[in-house]
Amino acid sequence: MKHGGFNMAIKRIGVLTSGGDAPGMNAAVRAVVRTALYHGVECYGIRRGYTGLISGDIIKLDEKSVSRTINRGGTILYTARSKEFMTEEGQRKAVSTCKFLGLDSIVAIGGDGTFRGARALAKHGINVVAIPATIDNDICCTNYSIGFDTAANTAIECIDKLRDTMQSHERCSVVEVMGRNAGYLAMYVGLAVGATAVLVPEENIDFERDVIEKIRQARLNGFTHFMIVVAEGAGSASEIAAKIKEAIDLDPRVTVLGHIQRGGSPNGRDRVNATKMGYLAVELLLAGKTNRVVCTNNGRFIDVDIDEALAMNRRIQSMEVNVLAAMTGL
C-alpha cells in the first residue's frame, strides 16, 4: 500500500541490530518491517550487524518473518561488533553490498557504536536512521533507550529475591549491575530497591563517606541487612566487598547480575516504544530524511542529527542524586 507525500524512490530498506542486545529489539525490527511493507517498500534483515552488511548475510523479511517476535528477547537478526567495519575498507565493502542489493536505506538499532557505524554509511551516501537500544540508557540525545525498562525491572526482581535470603542471614549484599561507564541503570535500580548505597561512575566516590558511613548509620538505626548497588563502571563488586570487610565487621556477599539483565521478554513499555520508534524510522526515510536518530524528549518522539547526537554529553540528573542522598539518610 502506497501513500502520497512520501519519497517513493526508496524501494528497499535494510534493518540491522548491532552491539549489545536489548529487550525490545525484535519489536523494533518488526515495526520497521511492517511499516515498510505497509508503504509498499521491500525490507531486508541484515544479520550480525555491520559484519553481515560486509559479508552479505542478508535475508528478505515479510510479515511472517516477524510474526510472534514482539514478545521475544534478544534479536532474531543476531548481533555482533565488527572491527573490520571500523576501517575505511570495511565501510566500502558494506556500501558495495548496499549498492549490489539495491538497499536504498538502513535502519540501525543499537547504542552509540551502532550510531557511529550509521554515520559512516551516511558519509558514503547511504540513507540511514538509527534507533537507540541499550540497557545502559546512556544515549545522550534521548530520555529513553529500548531495553532499559525491562533490564531495570529484571535487576529489581533479582535484588528483591536476594534481599529475602540476605535479610534472613543478616548479611551485607554487594550487587553489580551492568552499564559500562554509565550509572543510569544502577541509580534507577538502587532507588527502586531502597539500597543502602549506590556507586556510579559519574560521581566521585569517597568510600568512607559513601559506603562505610552509610552502613554504620543504618546499623545505628537498627538495620541488620545492607544492600550496596554498584555500576560495573564504578568498580568491581568483589573489590568493594573486600574493602567493606576490611573497614567494618561484616562479611559481604557478592552478586554480579551480568547478562541476565539483557535477557527475557520485553515488558509493555519497551514493546510499545520500540514499535513506535521502528515506525517513525521508516516514516523519516520515506520523508526524505537521513542521518537521523529517533529519540524521546519529555514524552515526545523527535528526531535529531546523528552528528549532534554523538556530540552530546549527559550526566545523571541532580534530582536523582539528591533523592538518593535523602533516601540513604545522609
Do 254 and 279 lie in a common domain?
A: no
In a domain, 329, yes or no: no
In a domain, 114, yes or no: yes
| pLDDT beneath 50, residues of the chain | 1-5
In a domain, 34, yes or no: yes
Give the separation between CA 46 and CA 49, rounded to whole angstroms. Answer: 6
Do 34 and 129 lie in a common domain?
A: yes
Do 141 and 161 lie in a common domain?
A: no
226: cell is 545492607
Do 296 and 222 lie in a common domain?
A: no
DSSP states along 36-100: HHHTT-EEEEETTHHHHHHHT-EEEE-TTTTTT-TT--S-TT-----SGGGSHHHHHHHHHHHHH
14: cell is 535494510
Do 171 and 80 lie in a common domain?
A: no
| pTM (2 d.p.) | 0.93
Length of the chain in residues, anyone?
A: 330
Q: Mark residue 279 as left, alpha or beta (left: phi above 0; alpha: psi -120 to 50; beta: remaining).
A: alpha
Do 164 and 249 lie in a common domain?
A: yes
Do 88 and 178 lie in a common domain?
A: no
Q: Which amino acids are annotated catalytic?
A: 136
Give the separation between CA 13 and CA 5, rounded to whole angstroms. Answer: 18
Do 75 and 88 lie in a common domain?
A: yes
- For residue 5, the model assigns a pLDDT of 47
CATH code, 245: 3.40.50.460
User: Is the distance from CB of 129 to CB of 284 less than 8 angstroms?
Assistant: yes
In a domain, 327, yes or no: no
Q: Which residues span the domain enclosing 199? A: 149-262
Span 230-245, pLDDT tens digits: 999 999 999 999 999 9
- For residue 6, the model assigns a pLDDT of 52
211: cell is 559506603
238: cell is 568483589
Do 17 and 143 lie in a common domain?
A: yes
CATH code, 136: 3.40.50.450
DSSP states along 140-192: TT-S--BTHHHHHHHHHHHHHHHHHHHHHTT-EEEEEE--TT--HHHHHHHHH
Give the separation between CA 25 and CA 130, rounded to whole angstroms. Answer: 12
In a domain, 270, yes or no: yes
Do 213 and 115 lie in a common domain?
A: no
In a domain, 330, yes or no: no
Do 165 and 48 lie in a common domain?
A: no
- Domain count for the chain, please give it: 2
Do 108 and 190 lie in a common domain?
A: no
* Residues in Cβ contact with 230 at an 8 Å cutoff, skipping those fewer than 6 apart: 174, 175, 176, 177, 186, 198, 199, 237, 240
In a domain, 163, yes or no: yes
Give the separation between CA 7 and CA 43, rounded to whole angstroms. Answer: 16
In a domain, 27, yes or no: yes
Give the separation between CA 325 and CA 198, rounded to whole angstroms. Answer: 10
